[in-house]
Structure 1
Amino acid sequence: MNREQISRIAHTDHPIKSPLHDASVRRLLESGLPRGDERVLDLGCGSGEWLLRALAARPHLRAEGVDVSADALAQARQSARDRGVEDRLVLHHQEAEDFAAAQPFNLVISVGATHAFGGLLPTLAAAREHLAPGGRVLIGEGFWDRPPYQEAIDMLGDFTDLATTVDRVVADGWTPIRGHVSTRREMDDYEWACWGSLASWALDHPAEPDSSRALAASTTHRTEWLRVYRDTWGFVSLVLRQTPDHR
């Protein structure tokens, strides 16, 4: 069982692959889509859940997603058909950093996917390349809520604290117009959902060849969360506009 398969099963009950409740997702999308007829791009869209929710809520919206996972994109296509929005969604199977669009977008999304570009600021640079004048960016990034263990840094990445994260975004030429710091409940609900879903799959499919590996992975990830990063790691989602005359 590879990492992609583990992720797909783990997110069965939490299709937004970040520690955000549905109400938080809705509010962030509302802030990013003030008109309702925008063109939206998700860089690293995975199974497309952000785009699918935006399309379902905005009947005049059009969206495109980019991801390297053929399986995740196939899941996105099926979900789009199930929700009746497939005619307004275009999906691209390629590296997000290599994607080139014929037209700019009013909203560019990259939530929990900044690793694909090598970090927060490179992700914002990529988003800027696709952004229409007056457009918005919805980005989600981790931060350290308090000094972490070195093991946590090795596991999740070399983040900074929340204030410094926002300072870096502002210094890069962006103005936050909406922000959401995931609550403890959102963080815990996300982790319990992921590793509980994986464990449930393993227990429900004992004859599957990957059952024991899935159960072991669930145990490992749950333990890492509880013992290594639960008390130190946070997650912030920002809706951004470009700062005028930034140099």
Structure 2
Amino acid sequence: MDRNLIGDLAHADHPVAAPLADDTVDALLRHALDGQRSVLDLGCGDGTWLLRALRLQPGLHAVGVDLSGAGFERTRTAADAEGLGDRLALHVADAATWSSDERFDVVLSIGATHAFGGLVPTVEAAASHLGPSGRLLVGGCFWEQPPGARALEALGAAAGDYRDLASTVEAVRAVGWEPLDGHVSSLAEWDAYEWSWTGSLTRWAVEHPEHPSSAEVLEVAAQHRTAWLGGYRGTLGFVTLLLVQRPVH
């Protein structure tokens, strides 16, 4: 089965593709969107963040870009049913190379740092789409504690792939951005996300035993669960930062 489709199935019950609770997502969006008129989401997944943003901010214009496009039609249908469809545009394209003449009041990129080569490159890429006095809302991983061999093997990562939390924030500041707000995902948020990710795939496989990809999907869920529980649980962290550009004096 196509990996993008597997990813879409995995997020059936947790469409926000990051370890964030619903109330946290809404709180971050309210702060980021306060008084703003347009938002771009780079690596938007199925567009869930944008749909939630439109619900929260009347008059907001929302644009999303994702290489997969899995789930776009579902999100467009939901937006149309709620009378929000005329304010939502979703594009199937590489978020790292997509370009537009439009500049946005807010640019989001949550859990998509792999598309840009890390958190700092994500910040810099997102900033290129931002209008004057705009805000960035970015989210990515860091090390909650120094990673051991099991965590690195489970993630297929190297110790240098991420920093600790303090160094992560300082790396963003070093390229000219200051945090207005932030959220460090709790272990409970991580657990809820991972149980949902693996459980959604398991349920689909059990409910579709005759599908030619049923065994494959069940194995993906099992491998992911083993990597999480036996490898990176409690070691890999996730931080979401609301950023503004530092004034030049």
Picking from 191, 194, 202, the partner of 1:191 is 194
CA distance in 2, matches of 1:82, 1:224: 39
CA distance in 2, matches of 1:65, 1:156: 29
TM-score by length of 1: 0.95
C-alpha deviation, 1:117, in angstroms: 0.9
CA distance in 2, matches of 1:153, 1:85: 43
Picking from 212, 215, 228, the partner of 2:215 is 212
CA distance in 1, matches of 2:125, 2:198: 32
Aligned to 1:65: 64
Aligned to 1:56: 55
Aligned to 1:95: 94
| Percent of matched pairs sharing the same residue | 49
After the TM superposition, which residues 27-66 of structure 1 pair with which residues of structure 2 at under 5 Å, given as runs? 27-35=27-35, 37-66=36-65
CA distance in 2, matches of 1:163, 1:70: 34
Is contact 1:153–1:159 with CA below 8 Å preserved after alignment? no
Give, as a single letter, the amino acid of the residue that structure 1 aligns with 2:231. V
Unmatched runs of 5 consecutive residues or more in structure 1: none
CA distance in 2, matches of 1:106, 1:224: 38
CA distance in 1, matches of 2:42, 2:107: 7
Aligned to 2:121: 122
Aligned length: 245
CA distance in 2, matches of 1:156, 1:143: 15
TM-score by length of 2: 0.94
Is contact 2:45–2:68 with CA below 8 Å preserved after alignment? yes
Aligned to 2:138: 139
Is residue 242 from structure 1 mapped to residue 245 from structure 2 by the alignment?
yes
Give, as a single letter, the amino acid of the residue that structure 1 aligns with 2:119. L
Is contact 2:45–2:69 with CA below 8 Å preserved after alignment? no
Aligned to 2:4: 4
Farther off after superposition, 5-14 or 91-100? 91-100
CA distance in 2, matches of 1:118, 1:59: 34
